[in-house]
Amino acid sequence: MKLSTILVVDDDENDQFICEYTIRKFDPAIRILKAHDGTEALSVLESETPDAIILDINMPIMNGFEFLEHYATAFAHHAPVVAMLTSSQLGSDRERAMRHPFVKSYLEKPLTIEHLRHMQELLEA
Amino acid sequence: MQRDDRQWRLTGFSAGLWCIIVGVGMIVFWLAEPVELAARHPEIFGMKFNAALAFTLLGGAFVAALSGYRTLPFLAALPVFVYGVIALAQHVFGVDLGIDRLLYDPFTDIGTSVPGRIAPNTALCFILISLALMRRALRGGSDIVQLVCSYAAVAIAATSLVGYLIDFDTAHDWIVHTRMSVQSATCFLALGVGILFVGARPAGYQRMAIAASLGVATYLILLTLAYLKVSAQATRLPFAIDREGISSIAGTLLDLILLSGLIYAGLVAYSYWNSRRYRESASHLSESQDRLAAIINNAVDGILTVSANGTILSANPACQRIFGHAPADVVGRPIRLLLPGRLAGGGEAAGSDHGGAASAGCFVTGGEMDGQRKDGRIFPVELSVAKVELAEGTVYTAIIRDISERKHFERQLLAANAELEEFAYRTSHDLRSPIASSIGLLNISRELLENGEYDALSGALERMERNFTRLDQLIQNIIVLTRDRLMEEEDQRFSPFDVVQNQADSLATLEEDGRVRIANHIPPELTIVSKPSKFEVIVGNLLSNAIKYHDPQEPDPRVDVRLEEHGGTIRFVVEDNGIGVPEEKRPLLFRMFKRLHPSRSFGSGLGLYIMKKSAESLGGAVRYEAKDKGSRFIVELPNGE
């Protein structure tokens, strides 16, 4: 199974730009959905379930953790690969995210081709 | 010890009074001349008129000396001394100097050597006692001469008194037919003891030693007199055999008496030594008790003793400070009055409803607990308890410390620490974020350069520039925050109008389209006293915040700045007609790193946090009020005038 849709949740325009550029380069056929915080992401997910979600943690309105809580309780069907993408791997953030079974990976910014290749493998596994 | 001295002074007064009573009584008897009484009880008139007068004088002199007089007792004792010397001289030299009947011619006589003449031992005692009294009057205290004189007088008087008791004439009759009367012996004894013991301690003499040695001396004198009498009797016997028999019996008797005397002296010495030791240990004990009491009474911590069934046995003064109850009010009350049995964690201690023993049981565990003040207020205490097994049962001593202040600081410290950790976490994230993003952009730029896509490259470079500007802003903010926290700044008088104007001008150059209008309504002539750099930080953050969150749809975006001062309080108000703050986000407004508007996430998220910290460090506060359209920030500061 190939990655065909990815939802990028990040409040930073530059990070959105980097993600979009990298995904295009990895596979121009992938459809990219965008959200700037947790609430926007939830409303996108109500209409469709992507193959993967790339999720930032520090966002205004609803941060990555709050989003994960809502996503775990309010949705029965989850995206096969949810990857955290954060600027620093500090403290207990990693364990807190990995408690959710659908969180498969914990990546450090910036997003790279290797990251996407890893997500592709996770999807196939 | 002082009470001891008072008692001895009282004894001294009694001795003096006794002499006066006996002396005056005898004078009255002599002057009344009751012939019949004298015929029936001649022994009453053993004390001569002269002697009665002398005792009256001595008694008065002693009372006067004890009352602090100097001249009066000396003048009273002097004639007695002269009389004593003359009376003794008559005996020694066998002459009659006419002193015996100078003042009074006795109507009766008990068969003395010369009517009205006092015995030689009485005369000697008068000399000794009057000498001692004169010394006492002159010196005002005890000394060795008084000690020796009164010691000798007491020994002589005691010997003669014991002689009366055991019917042993030699003890009081130093020469035939002239004896020291019982009355005289008691008076000498009283005066002698008084002089010996009153004021002996301040002069450094041991009363116990004096009394013990007096006992021994009297015994030895009696012994010697007995031996002399037996020997004299022996020599008067007509036959040598009888003389030898009597002598040998007398010798055996004497040996026995001497031996018993030695044992007696040994016992006296031992009891003296023992009593000294007891006194010493008693004084050590009372000293150590005093020391302990001083520690307990001055301790900062509360110290309680509690019985095994939970009754308070004692409480030190610090308990009053801690609990508000006077120590006397809590003694006898249950410990639950002060420690209601709730452990610091909340909830009733196990088994505390089974009465006193259980409440003592919960109390003996020690540690942190809740205490209750007299006014009912519950406060945290730290308790350390020791179990003491005494003969009368088990008691617990508890040291109680009020830890309200420590708990308060603990909470403050924890809050500060949590804030610091949050700050470290957020800064490390926010510092790395633009760098991570720039690394990504750099890689993209390289590819775009290689592919010759120059338009896209320029866009990527602009993004990188914005990243670094953001990073710079964040670092600048951290510097402001740190400086704000560390910098010591003096109060100064300045114009808030100028500060607002300068900040507005410098922000105008940064603003993209210059649409937002800043209206400075502060009277230009108004001055306030505060810390200018901190005030500048507050103004700068509020203005840049208002500009950042202006409403792009608003035809006339504006910021109104006002400042009023009354009653020593400065009220600084910044109002805008921007996008405002959604109600659910208002509690987060002044928290660090909270960016509340997703679509406009520029800025470090530290602005309002820095502003609040600055206001707090000026002793003020900041609050937010929502408007129908836009926001109103109100900063209240004390005017340092």
Q: Which residues of B touch A11 (CB under 8 A)?
A: 595, 598, 601
The reply to whether B118 and B12 lie within a common domain is: yes
Q: Pairing between strand B302-307 and B558-566? A: unpaired
Q: How far apart are CA B195 and CA B61, in angstroms?
A: 12
Q: Which residues of B touch A22 (CB under 8 A)?
A: 440
Q: How far apart are CA B199 and CA B201, in angstroms?
A: 6
The closest CB to that of B598, out of A11, A18, A86, belongs to A11
Q: How far apart are CA B202 and CA B133, in angstroms?
A: 17
For residues B79 and B99, the model is more confident at B79
Find residues 450-469 of chain B whose CB sits inside 8 Å of chain A.
463, 466-467
B270 and A CB contact within 8 Å: no
Boundary residue ending a domain (B357, B375, B402): B402
- B61 in a domain, yes or no? yes
Name the residue among A28, A42, A101 with its Cα closest to residue A71: A42
Average per-residue pLDDT in chain A? 90
- B242 in a domain, yes or no? yes
Choose the weakest-confidence range: B334-348, B506-520, B538-552: B334-348
The reply to whether B331 and B382 lie within a common domain is: yes
Q: What is the DSSP string of B210-243?
A: HHHHHHHHHHHHHHHHHHHHHHHHHHHSS-HHHH
Q: At what angle do helices B207-236 and B182-197 cross, to 10 degrees?
A: 150
Q: Measured at the alpha carbon of residue B94, what is the angle toward residues B148 and B54, in degrees to the nearest 5?
A: 50
Is B601 in Cβ contact with A11 (below 8 Å)?
yes
pLDDT tens by residue, B25-83? 999 988 888 888 888 888 788 888 889 999 999 999 999 988 888 899 999 999 999 99
Q: Which residues of A touch B432 (CB under 8 A)?
A: 87-88, 109
Residue range B576-605: mean pLDDT, rounded:
72
CB B46 within 8 A of CB B182: yes
Residue B460's beta-bridge partner residues?
Answer: none
The reply to whether B186 and B49 lie within a common domain is: yes
- B170 in a domain, yes or no? yes
Confidence check on the interface: ipTM exceeds 0.85, yes or no: yes
Is B428 in Cβ contact with A88 (below 8 Å)?
yes
Give phi and psi for B209, each to the nearest 5: -65, -45
Which of A8, A10, A18, A116 to mutate to probe the B interface, most B CBs <10 Å?
A18
Q: At what angle do helices B144-165 and B207-236 cross, to 10 degrees?
A: 50
Specify the pTM: 0.50
The reply to whether B81 and B175 lie within a common domain is: yes
The full set of domains in chain A, from first to last, is 5-124 (3.40.50.2300)
Query: From the CA of A97, how many Å to the nearest CA of chain B?
Result: 16
The top-scoring range by mean pLDDT among A25-39, B207-221, B331-345 is A25-39
- A21 pLDDT tier (thresholds 50, 70, 90): very high
The reply to whether B123 and B248 lie within a common domain is: no
- B9 in a domain, yes or no? yes
Q: How far is CA B189 from CA B56, B160, B185, in A?
A: 15, 10, 6
Encoded tokens for B602: 């520029």
B107 CB-contact burial (10 Å; exposed 0-12 / middle 13-18 / buried 19+): middle
The top-scoring range by mean pLDDT among A27-31, B138-142, B538-542 is A27-31
The closest CB to that of A14, out of B463, B597, B599, belongs to B463
**Domain residues for B447?**
404-486
Boundary residue ending a domain (B349, B368, B402): B402
Residue B329 CA from chain centroid, whole number: 20
Residue % of chain B over a pLDDT of 90:
28
The reply to whether B56 and B74 lie within a common domain is: yes
* Residue entry with tokens 């409040």: A11
A26 CB-contact burial (10 Å; exposed 0-12 / middle 13-18 / buried 19+): buried
Encoded tokens for B467: 């990243």
Which of A14, A54, A94, A96 to mutate to probe the B interface, most B CBs <10 Å?
A14
Q: Which residues of B touch A14 (CB under 8 A)?
A: 434, 437, 440-441, 463, 466-467
| B346 pLDDT above the threshold of 50 | no
The reply to whether B362 and B495 lie within a common domain is: no
Name the residue among B124, B108, B132 with its Cα closest to residue B172: B124
Q: Which residues of B touch A109 (CB under 8 A)?
A: 432-433, 436-437, 440
pLDDT tens by residue, B154-213? 888 888 888 888 777 766 676 665 678 888 999 999 999 888 888 777 767 777 777 777
Contacts of B496 (CB under 8 A, 6+ apart): B522, B526, B527, B528, B535, B539, B563, B570, B572
B333 and A CB contact within 8 Å: no
HSE value, Cβ hemisphere, 13 Å, CA-based, for B253: 14
Residue range B118-139: mean pLDDT, rounded:
90
The reply to whether B191 and B319 lie within a common domain is: no
The reply to whether B503 and B595 lie within a common domain is: yes
The closest CB to that of B595, out of A13, A21, A60, belongs to A60
Q: Which CATH number characterizes residue B460's domain?
A: 1.10.287
- B292 in a domain, yes or no? no
The closest CB to that of B444, out of A18, A58, A87, belongs to A18
Average per-residue pLDDT in chain B? 83
Q: Which residues of A touch B443 (CB under 8 A)?
A: 110
Query: From the CA of A69, how many Å to the nearest CA of chain B?
Result: 19
The reply to whether B459 and B586 lie within a common domain is: no
Q: Which CATH number characterizes residue B506's domain?
A: 3.30.565.10
The reply to whether B128 and B9 lie within a common domain is: yes
Q: How many domains does chain B have?
A: 5
pLDDT tens by residue, B514-570? 778 888 999 999 999 888 888 888 898 888 888 888 888 888 888 999 998 888 899
- B294 in a domain, yes or no? no
Residue % of chain B over a pLDDT of 70:
90
Boundary residue ending a domain (B486, B520, B552): B486
Q: Which CATH number characterizes residue B311's domain?
A: 3.30.450.20
Residue range B266-278: mean pLDDT, rounded:
86
The closest CB to that of B437, out of A14, A22, A40, belongs to A14
Identify the helix (H) or strand (E) that includes residue B519: strand B517-520
B601 and A CB contact within 8 Å: yes
| B354 pLDDT above the threshold of 70 | no
| B636 pLDDT above the threshold of 70 | yes
Query: From the CA of A77, how many Å to the nearest CA of chain B?
Result: 27
CB B117 within 8 A of CB B126: no
- B119 pLDDT tier (thresholds 50, 70, 90): confident
B594 and A CB contact within 8 Å: yes
Residue range B451-470: mean pLDDT, rounded:
91
| B227 pLDDT above the threshold of 80 | no
- B121 in a domain, yes or no? yes
Name the residue among B220, B207, B315 with its Cα closest to residue B265: B220
Q: How far apart are CA B619 and CA B273, in angstroms?
A: 75
Identify the helix (H) or strand (E) that includes residue B622: strand B621-626
Give phi and psi for B611, each to the nearest 5: -60, -45
- B526 in a domain, yes or no? yes
The reply to whether B641 and B514 lie within a common domain is: yes
Q: How far is CA B347 from CA A64, B341, B369, B372, B528, in A?
A: 39, 9, 11, 15, 53
Question: What is residue B356's predicted lDDT score, i.e. its pLDDT?
Answer: 43
Question: What is residue B350's predicted lDDT score, i.e. its pLDDT?
Answer: 40
Residue range A102-118: mean pLDDT, rounded:
92
Q: Pairing between strand B517-520 and B558-566? A: parallel
